[in-house]
Structure 1
């Protein structure tokens, strides 16, 4: 949690990322996503990282949705080719 000295509000550093409201340590969540990126299957990733396969699926979906939104935003505002 971060704290704003001006407005006295608290907010999460992870808001707007796939790790927002995550209860896993950051290293574990990152490891899940790295294994998926390397082409490991869901069950294999769960075994390697030590989490349930549903957790692997949830983080994969969150990261995929986040990547899709980022792609859409970047492509929508990209300058046209000359």
Structure 2
């Protein structure tokens, strides 16, 4: 049996300590990444809900104001109106 010359690194299917370190750091990164994304989506979700509530209130106030204006003007009499009244 002849020995083969050592011409550089060979690929190995064995998981060694160095690859454990790499996998561990990737897991850490993935965990932080997911937490960060969760925080971002949580903030956006809350912001949108608050904006939706504010918008709904504004629309409701506007509708109420328009209803009041319409109710007030319907009780008024036209003086010098377009129909000559």
When the two structures are superposed, what TM-score results if normalisation uses the length of structure 1? 0.34
Q: Which has the higher helix share?
A: 2
Q: Which has the higher strand share?
A: 1
- Point out the structure with max Rg over C-alpha: 2
